[in-house]
Structure 1
Amino acid sequence: MSQAAKRVATTSVNWQKLSERLTAQHVPELQRLKGLNSTFSGVVNSLPADLPKIDFAALKQKLPTHAALLDSLQKQYESLKIPYGTIPEDYNKEINKWIEYNTARAKLHELKTADGAVEANKVEEKWAKAPPVEHFERQHFVEYFPTLFYDLRYQKRIPDPCEIGLNDTDQLEARFRDYKVLRRADKVDDH
């Protein structure tokens, strides 16, 4: 086994653990990711661990007019050292920001699911106490379907038969809260 293959083999992904954490709808993406990973691993395993040696002296003899350029390329190529397993600091910062972002997203998702579970329990309790549908009366419709049926005797709602959204905001209530009929000059308030 080549040195590059040993490097990749020691850092492989635990696919079993990853598949346990994902839902069934993500199975195709996981399979695609596994395929991409195996393709990449195959390419890396086929390459040598070190960069190939280039005969710059032979190139300088074949291209004497470009000797200065070849010298510059030789210095850059020989100074190129990429140790395996080290990540540049800039990339580390990006990775850490991404990890923090995803951790915050996961916490938010957990909070939303917990709130959703509480709301679902409330709905289940409400419907567990409900009478059978055959025994529903007018007051039950108001209680169990408040968005469709309403009782104006005790609810602060405006009749909205055309469903234009009069009750979606409190603008009408705020506008007409202190509404008073203007007094007319010809009316006398003496009775």
Structure 2
Amino acid sequence: MSRRAIKAINWAPLVERIPESEKTTLAVFKTKSDQFLRRMTANPEAAPKIDWAYYKRTITTPGLVDKFQKEYESLTIPYPPDNYTAKIEAEEKETLVKIEEYLRYADSQISTSQQEIDRIKGLLPIAEMTLEDFKDMYPEHAFNPEKPTMWPHTPDSQPPDDIVYGSGGSH
């Protein structure tokens, strides 16, 4: 085990990404984090070295200094195991893969959109277009005398296809 800590956190990107309503919570968290980091860095990484020779010369009780030296040097401070770094790194790799997939998708959408923009730029200007030109370019939107529509000419305002008009009955 080892004592590891982040020496500095770049808080600016976090502040930019969170909503205004959460900024006070982040400020409180940052304050607590900074206090913890200061307390942790105030302590030395390793236990201080002791001049055992000095104590052996000055303390006359036999074996006392040797006993303390043995116990002090065998002292190990257990640090909690790092169970999260591997998980975070795995999630980061997964996220990077998803980002790459999204970038490929976005690039394909950009390419498709650019083709549509180029197609639209190549069209006749509306002021110069005739109804026949519109029908040739947009047959799905043009008026079809075989199948007239009712105002407001939207799909949901049209009667069902199974209704037959003008079937010629007696009234």
TM tier relative to shorter chain: 0.3 to 0.5
Higher helix share: 1
Choose between structure 1 and 2 for higher RCO, CA contacts under 8 A separated by at least 6 residues: 2
With structure 1 as the length reference, what TM-score do the two structures score? 0.43
Which structure has the larger Rg? Answer: 2
